[in-house]
Amino acid sequence: TQLLEQSPQFLSIQEGENLTVYCNSSSVFSSLQWYRQEPGEGPVLLVTVVTGGEVKKLKRLTFQFGDARKDSSLHITAAQTGDTGLYLCAGALSGSNYQLIWGAGTKLIIKP
């Protein structure tokens, strides 16, 4: 069974703090995506990483793909209340007919 484990499952921090969310697997992915989902809405794609060791930045969000393409991290600097949401990672396996393997999500709450 291919699994994508996210940690932590839940994180509640004060505005201005930094945080990191992890996504780990024993499988090698051809690409990995991060999504944010807000209540009552569908997940929204934040970034896709495809190359081992790749780092992408989206304002205060930094995404990293592991060298072996089995894991990824999302780091948020100086979190804001608008960052609150459910963060999901999803990996694409080679030859998987484009199907994504989804993590269970990290629920992030940023307190003012």
Partner 1 sequence: DTAVSQTPKYLVTQMGNDKSIKCEQNLGHDTMYWYKQDSKKFLKIMFSYNNKELIINETVPNRFSPKSPDKAHLNLHINSLELGDSAVYFCASQDRGNYGYTFGSGTRLTVV
Positions that interact with partner 1 (CB under 8 A):
31, 33, 35, 37, 40-45, 48, 50, 86, 88, 90, 92, 97-100, 102, 104-105, 107
Q: For partner 1, which is the closer residue by CB, 14 or 97?
A: 97
Query: At its nearest, how many Å lie between partner 1 and the CB of residue 41?
Result: 5
The beta-strand segments (E) located in the chain are: 5-7, 10-14, 19-24, 29-37, 44-49, 55-58, 61-65, 71-76, 85-93, 100-102, 106-111
Q: For partner 1, which is the closer residue by CB, 30 or 81?
A: 30
